[in-house]
Amino acid sequence: MKTKTLTLGTLLILSLVVIGLRTELRAQQPQQPLKVEDDTSGAIKVDVDVVNLYCSVRSKQNALVSTLEKGDFDLSEDGTKQTIKYFTKETDLPLTIGLLVDVSNSQRNLIEIERRAASSFFSSVLKKKDVAFLLSFGADANLDQDITGSPQILQDALRGMKLNGGFAGINSGPVPTMNKPRGTVLYDAVYLAANDMLSKEVGRKAIVLITDGDDQGSRETEKAAIEAAQKADAIIYGVLYVDRQFYGGFGMAYSGEGVLKTMAEETGGRLFQVDNRKNTLDSIFTQIQQEMRTQYAVGYTPTNSKKDGSFRKIDLRTSNKDLKVQVRKGYYALPPIQ
């Protein structure tokens, strides 16, 4: 069980902060059982042992389904059936969104379109309690704007976003690198967004990743990036945006689609592909917004209570076999933070 030890004085201060700033957020999250007890030192321990899942459900026609109840779902962990204790339909639960934009050489001709569409996305998706940050990546991964609830501040950061297409040297930029050339540090960017930014947040968390999926020179691996997102409980929405002329003109093979698909599926997100016809970047942003506002929140206490750091596979499905549940593949049973 996760255990945090707080002094009484600290607890009172934190309580005031939580009540004043996060009441609305916590009130809308699935309830979690709290066990409070005193130890011999006079400190208070608060134990929480609930796995929270956010999922979307789609029909055979790929339409979002928002009318299901708790009894319509079946859940298992590592093949063992689990009991769903907490269930809500979440359409307005606060969001923390990380927008990651590829500004490497291969995206040179697309950056202005990305900038404009992202600006519109921030204006439409951010509600009163939502926050977001902007991170661009090319030869380095750069935090262009820290977490804020202001669309205007995010739009200002988008206007300042620049091409970052060279090959950087050793240890340049916020993500440490080994002695190898870098052009598009995709995995480093996802790792940074998940581990350094979203792991500290509560509630629903999403990474919207605009890129052609090509990584060049990241220190982190694809597996490490996905693992960081899973540990942060962050959903990745991959937006595949490819300048075919760039790859064709330079005679290079393109193979980034599989990377984005894996990242999305492992974390409970989806892969979208811009085709400049029906699936424009604007329309894809609209689809992502609709999906994030049409989710189910499912909570359960695992029958396996060990906190050994292992990865537990999750299987969440509905009794209607024609419906597809979109949810992360599993979670890490991390030991308590000391």
Least-confidence region, from 146-155, 223-232, 289-298, 318-327? 289-298
C-alpha to C-alpha distance for 232 and 229, rounded to whole angstroms: 5
279-288 pLDDT, tens digit per residue, is 999 999 999 9
- In 3-state terms, what secondary structure has residue 57? strand
Please state the pTM of the whole predicted model: 0.80
pLDDT level of residue 277 (50, 70, 90 thresholds): confident
Q: Taking residues 190-209, what's their average pLDDT?
A: 95
Closest CA to 106 of 288, 308, 253: 253
Structure tokens at 262: 């894996």
134-177 pLDDT, tens digit per residue, is 999 999 999 999 999 999 999 999 999 999 986 543 333 444 44
Q: In the predicted model, what is the mean pLDDT of the chain?
A: 82
| pLDDT score of 337 | 67
Q: Taking residues 332-337, what's their average pLDDT?
A: 84
First-to-last CA distance in the chain? Answer: 12
Kindly list the structural domains of the chain, giving each domain's residue range(s) and its CATH number in brackets, ordered by start. 2-91+294-332 (no CATH), 95-292 (3.40.50.410)
pLDDT level of residue 74 (50, 70, 90 thresholds): very high
pLDDT above 70 coverage of the chain, percent: 77
Closest CA to 105 of 185, 209, 208, 220: 185
pLDDT level of residue 253 (50, 70, 90 thresholds): low
- Looking at the predicted structure, is the pLDDT value of residue 12 above 50? no
Q: Taking residues 71-86, what's their average pLDDT?
A: 97
Could you tell me where the beta strands, DSSP code E, fall in 264-306?
271-273, 295-300
How long is the chain? 338
Q: Taking residues 46-68, what's their average pLDDT?
A: 87
257-267 helix and 222-231 helix, angle to the nearest 10 degrees: 20
- Looking at the predicted structure, is the pLDDT value of residue 252 above 70? no
257-273 pLDDT, tens digit per residue, is 999 999 999 999 999 99
